[in-house]
Structure 1
């Protein structure tokens, strides 16, 4: 394996993980037709060789867990070096109807199914992918605590939770990571109103940033909604509409110009900037995904980029001055973001 990438601690009590993770969603789902197993294995092989050893999956990413299971089976011994996260609670039936179930009963059932698909006795980090509006977080956490004591999961994570829900969860068992969309397009966690970054810092919870390159837009290669394949999730997202796309490219072009000063790409600058927003108590760990080997190498190079204070402030000024057009999710999904759970009776 080549030079190890920088690592950080997953919050106050967590394991050491690669500061830049790899999101596997795009290998299997939501960004057009998946490539062959052989091509997808090449990406995982490259991640491993480059020392990119923090992989993120979910049971709703079509065949993602099965694919990882096949890769681990084909590469005996390598599983020991990979910090593997997966998630549960997003459900879909054969007709395509979607709902969220974060009940303790479903947590156990979903965990056992994921372990079966992965062909593994445990996962390193298990997230509640979304929270339903029926289950008090304390009940979900009690079950995750049990799964942890049984050795089926090593660390607990929440995704798109509210600050208050995170506080309540941590009273049952420490939450090691909160996964949330975080990029120059999505600074919601920093806002005082949401207060999630502040709470993570206070409690010592790592912030895992999904879609850190704005679902690819901040890479600068995608210039119009016409660049998306049929069936690509982004064709339904308001931020990528015909009307909003050109307006949002203004920030992309600004970041591209700033990146040129460093002989870097806008993706690299964005990832380096996000990593710099964390601190020891609550590091920010971006998990960009890609199905392209060249992009993968480009992203990995960002893990070793250090920004000066002046550069960081310059990027911050550009990001805060930009007006972002369009929500990150269609209206139907927006209700599940930064969710509170009902009180425990």
Structure 2
């Protein structure tokens, strides 16, 4: 297992990080157990240094607090990434808005530092660009936090190449986060995709939902598998005919997994890892057994034939949101 670097001068981290959002909201919230989640995070840190991903919006601060609990006494094993720029207007309905104003960014950073219990945020993302605020103003406020020692590196989430270029002129972009998996491959587009943009600049590309929000693991049999309120219950790719059509992707992944004697999740993650040495996926899980599978995915080497088979699977049916 070869570590991967978070930006051209950033720290070396395990090739697979841990996305913590689902521990607080979005997926199967009736199964939320903070004590178990803290243990999962701590066991993940045993493979450290490991990239932990959270945001102030996840559970309206709950997820950062949870990560902070797990970090107690383990700070040196973690590279902590969090985000600002999305505001939770109503936690019950998960109604969100954007705020990229410098004032909001400064307040959010201080609040995140308190909840996480850290002296500095290792990687601070602008969660989404606020159309009401010039990106240069938002990014400039983030750069001020770096100069103040509150943040070490900056990242962008779900941006275009043009937006990333504009930010990079103000302050170096160390990482870009966006969805990438066997059913979401737009970031690989040679003309518009951010995987190539990051490679050209030595930045890390951090895929969220690299397992297709759990779909690519093969654990789900139909739309009825998701409780009311679970994000996936209303997601276009998990509904009706789209769910059935997308099972063809799972079957192709499972065929490769059988040949290698591994899980479908490990194959899906190995494919993502094969898209570049600067790619650091952050699958989420609330269970130790899945964490072990995810962290061992870098040990799987897919053959050129495997990669061709997987890369030529027809795209997913249904929009991402």
> Could you say which TM-score interval applies, normalised by the shorter chain?
over 0.9
Contact 2:84–2:127, Cα closer than 8 Å, also in 1: yes
Deviation at 1:41, TM superposition (A): 1.8
- How many residue pairs were aligned? 316
1:295 aligned residue: 290
1:105 aligned residue: 103
1:200 aligned residue: 198
Question: Where do 5+ consecutive residues of structure 1 fail to align?
Answer: 330-345
Deviation at 1:323, TM superposition (A): 3.6
**Residue 55 of structure 2: which of 58, 63, 77 is its match?**
58
Deviation at 1:297, TM superposition (A): 0.8
Contact 2:90–2:96, Cα closer than 8 Å, also in 1: no
**Distance in 2 (alpha carbons) for counterparts of 1:231 and 1:273:** 30
1:11 aligned residue: 7
- Is 1:324 aligned to residue 321 of structure 2? no
**Distance in 2 (alpha carbons) for counterparts of 1:323 and 1:69:** 38
Deviation at 1:242, TM superposition (A): 1.5
**Distance in 2 (alpha carbons) for counterparts of 1:107 and 1:323:** 37
- Is 1:43 aligned to residue 35 of structure 2? no
2:146 aligned residue: 148
Deviation at 1:25, TM superposition (A): 0.6
Residue 113 of structure 2 aligns to a residue whose secondary structure is helix
**Distance in 1 (alpha carbons) for counterparts of 2:285 and 2:231:** 15
**Distance in 2 (alpha carbons) for counterparts of 1:252 and 1:94:** 35
TM-score by length of 2: 0.94
Deviation at 1:150, TM superposition (A): 1.1
- Is 1:123 aligned to residue 127 of structure 2? no
Deviation at 1:47, TM superposition (A): 0.8
**Distance in 2 (alpha carbons) for counterparts of 1:26 and 1:94:** 18
Deviation at 1:193, TM superposition (A): 5.2
- Is 1:313 aligned to residue 305 of structure 2? no
Two-structure CA RMSD over aligned residues (Å) = 1.6
Contact 1:6–1:304, Cα closer than 8 Å, also in 2: no
- Is 1:136 aligned to residue 142 of structure 2? no
Deviation at 1:194, TM superposition (A): 2.6
1:334 aligned residue: none
Question: Where do 5+ consecutive residues of structure 2 fail to align?
Answer: none
Contact 1:104–1:140, Cα closer than 8 Å, also in 2: yes
Residue 167 of structure 1 aligns to a residue whose secondary structure is helix
Within 5 A, what are the aligned runs for 1:164-243? 164-192=162-190, 194-243=192-241
